[in-house]
Amino acid sequence: MSVSLQKGQKVSLTKEGREGLNKVIVGLGWDEAQRSKGGLLGGLFAAKPQAIDCDASALMLKDGHLVDGKDVVYFGNLKHRSGSVMHMGDNLTGAGEGDDEQIMIELERVPAEYNRIVMVVNIYQAVQRHQNFGMIQNAFIRIVDGRNGQELCRYNLSENYDGMTAMIFGEVYRNNGEWKFNAVGQATTDPGLPELCKRYY
pLDDT at 82 over 90: yes
Give me the domains of the chain, ranges plus CATH numbers.
3-33+50-198 (2.60.60.30)
Beta bridge partner(s), residue 102: 27
pLDDT at 41 over 80: no
Handedness of CA 33, 34, 39, 44 (dihedral sign): positive
Q: How confident is the model at residue 2 (pLDDT cuts 50, 70, 90)?
A: confident
Closest among 185, 168, 199 to 8, alpha carbons compared: 185
Beta bridge partner(s), residue 182: 10, 171
pLDDT at 85: 98
Closest among 144, 122, 120 to 190, alpha carbons compared: 122
pLDDT at 51 over 70: yes
- Cα–Cα distance between 188 and 42 in angstroms, integer? 31
Give pLDDT tens digits for 93-125.
555 678 999 999 999 999 999 999 999 999 999
pLDDT at 42 over 80: no
pLDDT at 43: 55
Predicted TM-score of the model (pTM): 0.90
pLDDT at 14: 87
**Percent share of the chain, pLDDT over 70:** 87
pLDDT at 177: 87
Give pLDDT tens digits for 6-21.
999 999 998 766 767 9
pLDDT at 73: 98
Closest among 77, 72, 192, 69 to 124, alpha carbons compared: 192
* Helices of type H across 15-101: 39-45
Closest among 157, 129, 131, 155 to 142, alpha carbons compared: 155
Higher model confidence: residue 43 or residue 1? 1
Give pLDDT tens digits for 151-177.
999 999 989 999 999 999 999 999 988
- Report, as an integer, the average pLDDT of 124-135: 94
Q: How confident is the model at residue 89 (pLDDT cuts 50, 70, 90)?
A: confident
